[in-house]
Structure 1
């Protein structure tokens, strides 16, 4: 039922999707870790600043929180081996493409808000860091989506 960190030939015969500890050694699944780290940083940095104006910053918070929680859920699906069905490669591409698109929109909005705050706020450096991290997370999700699409096409 659940795969372990030992050598498991069942996963390789059913699907090209890794499970268990193999996700820490395969591309694009190794990207889960930096997606957690940088996505969590975006969430933390935006949450620690003054949420003004509320509308764009609210979208950034929604995207960072949604992607962080859903990536955690996705990670547990992969680690437990539930992803061994033929539909999972396409779901993986879809999720990471949607996340990349969401993060791109959030990063652009966050950059626009940050440019408007230049020199007006003491936490301007936190806003700059959040923008940089948001674009890094966008890049990570796009790379994950591209490699997942390659895996989907070859499966």
Structure 2
């Protein structure tokens, strides 16, 4: 009895920019850089309050750029990677932590 499993390989090189999920790296990096610039240039009374937002935006920007470079250079060797899943989980976790802390700070003011 044979199983009907299909193995799909991830593209590498500049072919990464031709598939739909991978082409989303470009707006993610673009908007991530804009968030980083906007947070860094904003004037707040207590700069420590924007520290977590700056950390999350810089972390996500650097990780998105790193993942795109790894995919372009073919480090994943064509197989699906769990690194993208871990990155998405960490980014979501950090944004949720920021949202909870922001809500608590807003509630106490």
Q: Please confirm whether the aligned pair reaches a TM-score higher than 0.5, indicating the same fold.
A: yes
- Taking only aligned residues, the RMSD between alpha carbons, in angstroms, comes to 2.7
Q: 2:32 aligns with which of 27, 39, 43?
A: 39
Distance in 2, matches of 1:103 and 1:19, equals 29
Change (3 A) 1:54 1:110: farther
Is the counterpart of residue 25 in structure 1 residue 12 in structure 2? no
Contact 1:56-1:110 at 8 Å conserved across structures? no
Residue in structure 2 matching 1:61, options 39, 47, 54: 54
Task: Give 5+ residue unaligned stretches, structure 1.
Answer: 1-13, 116-155
- How far did residue 77 of structure 1 move? 0.4
CA offset digits 1:126-145 (Å, max 9, x no partner)? xxxxxxxxxxxxxxxxxxxx
Shift of 1:92: 1.4
Distance verdict in 2 for CA 1:42–1:105, change over 3 Å: farther
How many residue pairs get aligned? The number is 99
Aligned to 2:90: 98
Q: Whole-Å Cα distance in 1 between the matches of residues 71 and 13 of structure 2? A: 7
Deviation at 1:54, TM superposition (A): 2.9
Q: 1:75 to 1:53 in 2, by over 3 A?
A: same
Question: What is the rounded CA distance, in whole Å, between the counterparts of 2:18 and 2:101 in structure 1?
Answer: 33
SS class of match (1:28): helix
**TM-score (norm. length: structure 2):** 0.73
Shift of residue 52 of structure 1? 3.5
State how 1:1-16 maps to structure 2 within 5 Å: 16=9
